[in-house]
Structure 1
Amino acid sequence: MAPQKGRTVWAALLLCLSAFSGTARGVYNVGVGRADMTGPSAEITLMGYAKSTQKGCGIITRQYSRAYIFDDGTTRVLYVTIDTGMIGIGVKNLVLEQLRTLYGDTYTQQNFILSGTHTHNGPGGFLMDVLYDISIFGTCKDTVDAYVDGIVESVKRAHENVVEARIYVNKGEVLDANINRSPTSYLANPEDERNQYEHDTDKTLVQLRIDRASDGVSIAAINWYAVHPVSLNNTNCLVSSDNVGYASILLENDMDPKSLPGESSFVGAFASTNLGDVSPNTNGPRCINTGEPCDKESSSCGGENKYCIAFGPGKDMYESAEIIATKLFDKAKVLLANESSHELTGPVGFIHQFVSMRDESVTVQDPTNGSSIEVKGCYPAMGYSFAAGTIDGPGEFDFKQGTTSDNPFWNLVRDFIFPPTTEDIDCHYPKPILMGTGRMSFPYEWQPHVVATQIIRVGDFALVAVPGEFTTMSGRRLRKAVKEVLVDNGAPDSTEVVLAGLSNTYTSYIATFEEYQLQRYEAAATIFGPHTLSIYIKVYSTLAEALMKGTQVEEGPPPPDVTGQTLSLITPVIFDSAGFTHNFGDVLQQPPESAKIGDVVSAIFVSGHPRNDVMHGKTFLTVEQQTANNSWKVIANDASWETRFIWTRTGSVTGTSTAEIRWEIRDHVQPGVYRIGHFGNYKSLWGGIGSYNGTSNSFVVEA
């Protein structure tokens, strides 16, 4: 037994030495994978604008999950970025449950970051907090299942395709792709702090490039850039990953030109970071009723916020999304080709802690006299300005941004539903509380009390997973604080710190203390009170020190898991009918016999409900070109930006519906013969699901 034990010790030692040698020279084990995770694309409210009437009616681009595994031979971490508005602990738990069945304890809460890109145009009903799901009418099982299945599949593909790789970090500026949507709040921050930065938003795009070690071929990249994916506003009803999602598709297809969207061998992501006060609508806000500038303090027009809306840079929201996506793609492509990128070396590590924010305290400086005082986090609550919305998606009623006083009528409404305590009012001051969500527990939590905090490290790169939307200056302060702690504890000065926004838990916004005093939208939605950022800086600084020293932190109180206990008022699909004179897939409107570059051709089909099958790994449409041997080649699908899948219910009682397939003929399209296809599923009156397809007449695209 002794010799065997000795050999085991030596084997373990050699493994450790091998791992150290590999990461010291920059070689890691890396796996990448992408999978379709598109949710139900019809009659489910889209998540982001909290507008219950904004229900899905089809697809512009599919939603994808992109998974990245980093392993130094002894420690493994997993980062997954997904085309959703945000993420909740319920979905992460369901994903981990399936991964545990597949891989045991390889992936856990501690070493796995799940981050949403923040598109506002994906189906909702997946957060399992009452406030965030209320506009969707509760939990949507179809959405949850679709997201979990897609995320798990992307991780499986990454896990099964681990290769030796080198990782490089690079960064560059993109100057004309974002603006600050709350510039007066930003100006409330100290002047000497603002003077450290040239712009009032972060303009730097940070990229991780992953090259296969055996041949130096780039197999993947992750790009972080601060911009809200709200180019598509709350009048859009088509499921889309918006500007950053389209940028991912552009990058993947550029690296693998022969592939269709979602099928590229290259996995390229554009992920969220500190985008809280950052808009892609670069023409800025105007009063749509007068054409005049909006009031700067309240983002209102004649006292009404609903007319103050930001647009641009395109002629409409779809062109604007494409322009922003192209700007991000162009910079990412330049960075991919940059041979002077910094190569990562050193170990992989991770640290994680659940934190009950209302129980956390921190020492801050009293703004009135400069003395040190201890303050605590608050029970979650939303302020009046939250209901005003933003210049990217205004709210309703008479609410305005920058509201620091309350209203007797709305207080009466508030106190009838969720009255705040005197302690809550004092804790959140100067926020006038509109919804005291933290005291609400029926039928379950309205907003999270416990958040997940987490850092993963790959050599001299640190990814800080944050549970919400940090404003520009909030993100800068947290990045600076974490880097100082990492460097003070042995990390190289070259260490790059990136915030992974909207990760693991969603708790709305995080504004600075100074921004909080003005109570614009971001501050009103800073749910744990004026000292939220200070608490986070303390927590993440503690995590960073423990990560570098290799010490443990308490795991903290786990958030409640209400999976399977949530409520839903969402009507299921009852049945589909093709009517008395048609079959599913029949073409009701044919495309023209000929078309040219710049035209939009369409065909309309008898359809079933898209919720019968979300078509993961498949498509609701195809555009096909006839080849020289008279076969047909698919040149576009429902993830292609130039196509639209538009579903319309034509009879609520009869169960009839149509699907319109549109295709914009762009400059790269070759002259030839084309046709349009539609695929779907119908639900019979007896509950069975059947598939169908239809094909239009062929038509000629002229030179």
Structure 2
Amino acid sequence: MYLAGWSKQPLPLTPRGYAMHGYGQWHHRARSTRLPLMCRTIVLHHGHQHLVFCCLDLGYITYAIRQGVCDHLTTVLGGDFTPEQLVLTCTHTHSGPGGCSHDGLYNLVTPGYVPDYVEAIVTTTAETILEAWNSAEPTEISLSTGHFENEIPVAWNRSLDAYNENPEIVPRDDLHAHLALDRTMPVLDFQRNGQTHALMSLFGVHATCVSSQQTAFDGDNKGYAARNAESQLEATGIANPVAIFAQGTAGDVSPHYHGPGQARRRKAIHGEAEYQYARRNGEYQSTLALGALGEEATRIESEGLDALLSYIAMPGRKADPAYANGVDDAYTSAPCHGVPFFAGTPVDGPGMPSLLARSAGWLARRLRRKRLNGSADDSDRSYYQQLYQAQGNKDILLEAGRKQVLGHTLDRLPLPGWADPLVAEMKRQARLGALNQSDLVPSVLPLQIVTLGQIAVVCCPGEFTTVAGQRVRDTVSAQLANTGIEQVLLLTYCNDYMGYVTTREEYQRQRYEGGHTVFGQWSLAVFQTEFAELARQLNKAPEQRTYDRETRPTPVPEAELALRSNVPPPGL
């Protein structure tokens, strides 16, 4: 019998005019709270084995948050806690706080790093975990799977032409983008005395019902789903239920209609209607989750918990040809952001104007030709040959590794600061020396697999598209076929955030997701390679496992972090 405990607390974050994380828009600033942002936790014990699932109403998990929580738990729990046991994920609401990363890029609009936000998140998360840890009682656990009927308007694929490039899928036309995604919802059910007290749902859909035009913290669709499910459980007499609505393969999945007339339909939802739209989308999710409980449920009968966590340095990593279409020299590169990343998505979050994007693409291709054919020295030419081979047909606007925009260092961008406040902030931080040694985006990433009885959960950093996630599941399932694992689930936005992962076929289309697949066209193949190796380690006895337990991101220079911390937001 497993012991399980659960807990939830609101994150004590005071909106003070800092930009929120998600849309990357300078004007998208939090000045109030609509639906409180929550921390929800489920803790499992089996003998001396432990497992923690913790989901935050945030746009991203960062290494700063995760390491702070691990340090706190180690101090309190000592040897009973190891970092491998902690699965820290988020709902990816775009109406949550920014400024929570030690890395520079995703904090630019905040502006900068907000240490008291991180401290509040870390403290509350640790307290919630400890409360759940200490309240564990015998609990029955089962896995059910719900499926959204085709007519339920809960999600659409937002990059359909890229999705259709994948050879294993059934191509869909513009009228059927709602079918170009995984419409199933696995639900872990935690029962006592035959009643559900807690649950964890995994369904991939962006938490972008509320747009960048709003100015309030809000849990978006996942937050409303959790609140609605908990209210329904309370109505049955359950005290303090916990409902986690986490993310699956959300990378190319939108909660907004995509198809003919999509711009007109999106424009019609604004102001208060956006919050009602988020509530309705969340209710679709909570209704399916609660309805799935008990229906053809798989009881977690086999006992035991297990967890593996390994950090890998992504740049320059080689993919196994088995996952790279037989290519023997498929490598990742230093992180680069393409023009489509800055252009945004046409419905969820538009970015730079199309004319400017086309001009930036032309300049990026011109710079590529110059670097590969021009007068650069041999070392630079070799570097760029490898970079462009890895990045493929991406029009690179930002080289996050070398910290250049179209070949210009950040402090010398030719665009004047008055033309774009984000450019002004980037220049300011660069000229202060706040980004000299600090990474712009994470390059050392956490990969994690945990098992609960006969269920394995693959925990991925960042945003995986529908088919990319399915390939990861298939890869891990193949490695665990003879181990007693009967089902492999995928949980995304786990433990850190670095952007997107598409399939190589999707990448060639260079939509927003491909432009934000920062390590290049072989990123997924490398993730498959590394997850396959991690899964193979699960086949071994714990004392025989040889995976990397030591690698961690390089600490950010404290002096640089201080230079970009507590920067007053506009208007203060």
TM-score normalised over the length of structure 2: 0.84
The one of 300, 304, 320 aligned to 2:277: 320
Answer yes or no: is the 8 Å Cα contact 2:438–2:557 preserved in 1: no
Hey, what's the Cα distance between the residues in 2 that align with 1:208 and 1:466?
Answer: 18
Q: Deviations along 1:152-181, whole A, 9 cap, x unmatched?
A: 121011111011111010011124210000
Q: CA 1:409 to 1:104, structure 2 compared with 1: closer, same or farther past 3 Å?
A: same
Hey, what's the Cα distance between the residues in 1 that align with 2:524 and 2:178?
Answer: 22
Shift of 1:142: 2.6
Equivalent position of 1:470 in the other structure: 464
Name the structure where helix makes up a greater proportion of residues.
2
Give yes or no for the alignment of 1:111 onto 2:111: no
Q: Deviations along 1:575-600, whole A, 9 cap, x unmatched?
A: xxxxxxxxxxxxxxxxxxxxxxxxxx
Q: CA 1:56 to 1:516, structure 2 compared with 1: closer, same or farther past 3 Å?
A: same
Equivalent position of 2:155 in the other structure: 178
Answer yes or no: is the 8 Å Cα contact 1:281–1:312 preserved in 2: no
**What amino acid is the match of 2:393?**
P
Hey, what's the Cα distance between the residues in 2 that align with 1:233 and 1:70?
Answer: 36
The one of 489, 507, 519 aligned to 1:516: 507
Hey, what's the Cα distance between the residues in 1 that align with 2:14 and 2:85?
Answer: 30
Q: What residue ranges of structure 1 are gaps of 5+ in the alignment?
A: 1-26, 294-308, 574-648, 654-703
**What amino acid is the match of 1:217?**
Q
Hey, what's the Cα distance between the residues in 2 that align with 1:402 and 1:485?
Answer: 44
Answer yes or no: is the 8 Å Cα contact 1:209–1:220 preserved in 2: yes
Shift of 1:400: 8.2
Give yes or no for the alignment of 1:358 onto 2:322: no
User: How many equivalent residue pairs?
Assistant: 516
Shift of 1:313: 12
Hey, what's the Cα distance between the residues in 2 that align with 1:70 and 1:284?
Answer: 43
Shift of 1:403: 10
Hey, what's the Cα distance between the residues in 2 that align with 1:91 and 1:407?
Answer: 37
Equivalent position of 2:409 in the other structure: none
Equivalent position of 1:152 in the other structure: 126
**What amino acid is the match of 1:82?**
L
Name the structure where strand makes up a greater proportion of residues.
1
**What amino acid is the match of 2:318?**
S
Q: CA 1:151 to 1:236, structure 2 compared with 1: closer, same or farther past 3 Å?
A: same
Answer yes or no: is the 8 Å Cα contact 1:47–1:85 preserved in 2: yes
Matches within 5 A, 1:643-662: none
Matches within 5 A, 1:475-554: 475-487=469-481, 489-492=482-485, 495-550=486-541, 551-552=544-545, 553-554=547-548
Q: CA 1:479 to 1:313, structure 2 compared with 1: closer, same or farther past 3 Å?
A: farther
Shift of 1:373: 1.7
Give yes or no for the alignment of 1:68 onto 2:42: yes
Q: CA 1:350 to 1:563, structure 2 compared with 1: closer, same or farther past 3 Å?
A: farther
Equivalent position of 1:664 in the other structure: none
Equivalent position of 1:238 in the other structure: 216
Q: CA 1:51 to 1:93, structure 2 compared with 1: closer, same or farther past 3 Å?
A: same
- Percent identity reads 26
Give yes or no for the alignment of 1:331 onto 2:293: no
Secondary structure in structure 2 of the residue aligned to 1:503: coil
Give yes or no for the alignment of 1:459 onto 2:450: no
The one of 341, 345, 348 aligned to 1:392: 348
Hey, what's the Cα distance between the residues in 2 that align with 1:405 and 1:52?
Answer: 23
Answer yes or no: is the 8 Å Cα contact 1:283–1:310 preserved in 2: no
Q: CA 1:388 to 1:285, structure 2 compared with 1: closer, same or farther past 3 Å?
A: farther
Shift of 1:37: 1.2
Matches within 5 A, 1:360-439: 360-364=317-321, 372-390=327-345, 391-398=347-354, 405-407=361-363, 421-439=384-402
Equivalent position of 1:680 in the other structure: none
The one of 19, 27, 50 aligned to 2:24: 50
Q: Deviations along 1:645-664, whole A, 9 cap, x unmatched?
A: xxxx9xx79xxxxxxxxxxx
**What amino acid is the match of 1:513?**
R
Hey, what's the Cα distance between the residues in 1 that align with 2:83 and 2:70?
Answer: 8
Answer yes or no: is the 8 Å Cα contact 1:222–1:270 preserved in 2: yes
Hey, what's the Cα distance between the residues in 2 that align with 1:86 and 1:224?
Answer: 16
Query: Which stretch has the larger CA shift, 228-237 or 548-557?
Result: 548-557
Answer yes or no: is the 8 Å Cα contact 2:230–2:241 preserved in 1: yes
**What amino acid is the match of 1:427?**
A
Answer yes or no: is the 8 Å Cα contact 1:85–1:120 preserved in 2: yes
Shift of 1:189: 0.9
**What amino acid is the match of 1:327?**
Y
Give the root-mean-square deviation of aligned CA atoms.
3.1
Structure with greater Cα Rg: 1
Matches within 5 A, 1:71-110: 71-110=45-84
Answer yes or no: is the 8 Å Cα contact 1:201–1:278 preserved in 2: yes
Hey, what's the Cα distance between the residues in 1 that align with 2:270 and 2:291?
Answer: 22
Answer yes or no: is the 8 Å Cα contact 1:482–1:497 preserved in 2: yes
> Which structure is higher in RCO with an 8 Å CA cutoff and minimum separation 6?
2
